[in-house]
Amino acid sequence: TNQFCEAGIKYEESGCGLSSSSKILITGGTVVNAHQQVIADVYIEEGVVAAVKSNIKVDDDVIVLDATGKFVMPGGIDPHTHLGMDVLNTTTVDDFFTGQAAALAGGTTMHIDFVIPVNGSLSAGLKAYQKKAEDSCMDYGFHMVITKWNEDVSREMEIMVKENGINSFKFFMAYKGALMINDELLLEGFKKCKSLGALAMIHAENGDAVFEGQKRMIELGITGPEGHDLSRPAVLEAEATGRGIRLASFSNTPLYVVHVMSRDAMEEIAKARRSGQRVIGEPIVSGLVLNNSGLWDPDFTTAAKFVMSPPIRAAGHDKALQAALSAGVLQLVGTDHCSLNSTQKAFGINDFRKIPNGVNGIEERMHLVWDAMVESGQMSPSDYVRVTSTECARIFNIYPKKGAILAGSDADIIILNPNSSFKITAKSHHTNSDTNVYEGFTGKGKVEVTIAGGRIVWANGELKVVPGSGKYIRMPPFGYLFDGLDRADANYLSSLRAPVKRFKS
Ligand SMILES: NC(=O)NCCC(=O)O
Ligand SMILES: [Zn+2]
Ligand SMILES: [Zn+2]
């Protein structure tokens, strides 16, 4: 026995059995891509989709899965995770293997994690994360966090893009004294990102004001998890979102706002997009389906599990974010999966500032988004595929290898039964945490089968994964968000050089 068996996860040493890469035929399902849905068979060979058409005939050595009445969709891609991350003198309870296994049980087949530099060194950070990811059982990519600025960082950014398959850099506008950067660095970083064709990402909260807000709560004697909510109101998220957007506009560089948690921040994005600016907004599952009532629970353990930044907002923000997602104001859904158990959360029993920030979601995202958006009638299955998979693949320039069921795409596929239901509880989830922020949630739509890289890894409620079978996915620079940017810049420059006629007085 080992921890994985205890968690209900089996893993195979050899490449045989249920989890090996096989020839698979999925028959009779509704194959959903972001551009269309059609009833068809899907044939998989050697880890890729070989054909999508009607009435595919195969030999006896092919595993046949009947998907009649069910949806056959690209596996989810989670653009925002923190596996094995060090946070406030502790480490998240899910490492790459357990977090990915949980993801597969929930229908997600790829994630993009954030590399944290070591003493400001990007290459040392990358090396550390390559080690963390060695046992991966699912495909993954990396974003890189930028925490300081100098010539070495600038040079290393170039190496990350040109040699290491990283095409996005994240800047924290919060976490003063730790990861936070100032506007000067943000401007340098945006300029460098643009020259490399890499996407700039921001965690948007005004870190100085949050620091002040935290001090205010402590001085008022508010030390519990509700102090986390009160210390960093939505106005601080909106301010930083607006500032980040304006500075990105000043550099004419595309911008990706991670974990949009409030209506206020979403409206900043809506305004910028209406003006034609290239801004991507990522809501996360907790912001879409939860509200802040949990933070006010009298039981500390319950309240502390909801502590994340920016905070989960008051009821009303959730519905506004759902509407923005269905209208295309926000484009893709992440999780910010950063799971911590109740003993770790208890570090802040006397001071909410010491509660390590983070909630789970990597296993729950596909179910909760289906239920909240499709089952509720706010979104079509095709749009669901777009916001859970395809748009992420397009933004990070790995489409249609990922994010689609087309001949030649990786065989990362789920079969979802819309007539079956799911129930979430820490008693049966696959992540390593002893709690779940979605405890007791039920809904329609169940991922019955997950195929990752041509392996059936989740079927009949059983998870079979292979450590080391997950591949690092290189993400090339100059994705679609950069198309035409050079022409816009050339027009801007020529407008500056237009002769000014002055008359002598
Ligand atoms: N969000 C959060 O509370 N923890 C993870 C780190 C981050 O994304 O800010
Ligand atoms: Zn963040
Ligand atoms: Zn995060």
Cα–Cα distance for residue pair 488/271, rounded to 1 Å:
20
The CB of 369 under 6 Å from ligand 1? The reply is: no
Q: Domain spans of the chain?
A: 1-505
pLDDT(352) > 70: yes
Cα-to-centroid distance, 354 and ligand 1 (Å): 14
pLDDT of residue 12: 53
What are the structure tokens assigned to 164, written together? 């290491």
The CB of 360 under 6 Å from ligand 1? The reply is: no
Nearest CA to ligand 1 atom 8: 336
pLDDT(1) > 90: no
- What's the Cα-to-Cα distance from 387 to each of 203, 212, 285, 404, rounded to whole Å? 20, 36, 12, 12
Residue with tokens 């006896």: 60
Q: What is the largest CA-CA distance in the chain?
A: 93
- What's the Cα-to-Cα distance from 116 to each of 38, 124, 172, 194, 235, rounded to whole Å? 42, 9, 11, 21, 27
The CB of 336 under 6 Å from ligand 1? The reply is: yes
Cα–Cα distance for residue pair 466/49, rounded to 1 Å:
20
pLDDT of residue 137: 98
User: pLDDT tens digits, residue range 78-114?
Assistant: 999 999 999 989 999 999 999 999 999 999 999 999 9
| Full-model pTM | 0.96
Residue 292 DSSP class: G
If one looks up domain 1-505 in CATH, what number appears? 3.20.20.140
The CB of 30 under 6 Å from ligand 1? The reply is: no
Average pLDDT over residues 457-476: 97
Nearest CA to ligand 1 atom 9: 309
Ligand nearest 81 Cα, by number? Answer: 3
The CB of 70 under 6 Å from ligand 1? The reply is: no
Residue with tokens 């950070």: 125
pLDDT(14) > 80: no
User: pLDDT tens digits, residue range 239-281?
Assistant: 999 999 999 999 999 999 999 999 999 999 999 999 999 999 9
Ligand nearest 202 Cα, by number? Answer: 2
Q: Rg of the Cα trace of the chain?
A: 23
Contacts of 154 (CB under 8 A, 6+ apart): 188, 192
The average confidence (pLDDT) of the chain is 95
pLDDT(298) > 50: yes
**Closest-lying ligand 1 atom to the alpha carbon of residue 203:** 9
**Closest-lying ligand 1 atom to the alpha carbon of residue 357:** 3
What is the DSSP code string of 19-88?
TSB--EEEEEEEEE-SS-EEEEEEEEETTEEEEEESS----TTSEEEE-TTSEEEEPEEEEEE-SS-EET
pLDDT of residue 164: 98
- Return the minimum-mean-pLDDT range out of 224-228, 230-234, 439-443, 495-499: 495-499
Nearest CA to ligand 1 atom 4: 358
The CB of 242 under 6 Å from ligand 1? The reply is: no
Cα-to-centroid distance, 358 and ligand 2 (Å): 9
124 neighbors 117 (Cβ within 8 angstroms): yes
Where does residue 151 rank: exposed (0-12), middle (13-18), buried (19+ CB within 10 A)? exposed
Average pLDDT over residues 142-151: 96
Q: Which three-class secondary structure state does DSSP give residue 249? A: helix
Average pLDDT over residues 458-472: 97
pLDDT(3) > 60: no
Cα-to-centroid distance, 429 and ligand 2 (Å): 24
pLDDT band at 21; cut points 50, 70, 90: low
Candidate from 338, 345, 360 with most ligand 1 atoms within 8 A of CB, to mutate: 338
Cα-to-centroid distance, 75 and ligand 3 (Å): 21
pLDDT of residue 156: 98
Cα–Cα distance for residue pair 360/170, rounded to 1 Å:
20
- What's the Cα-to-Cα distance from 309 to each of 24, 81, 270, 459, rounded to whole Å? 42, 14, 21, 35
pLDDT of residue 500: 81
pLDDT band at 141; cut points 50, 70, 90: very high
Give the residue with greater pLDDT, 232 vs 500: 232
pLDDT of residue 8: 52
User: pLDDT tens digits, residue range 163-220?
Assistant: 999 999 999 999 999 999 999 999 999 999 999 999 999 999 999 999 999 999 999 9
The CB of 364 under 6 Å from ligand 1? The reply is: no
436 neighbors 425 (Cβ within 8 angstroms): yes
pLDDT band at 11; cut points 50, 70, 90: low
The CB of 106 under 6 Å from ligand 1? The reply is: no
The CB of 338 under 6 Å from ligand 1? The reply is: yes
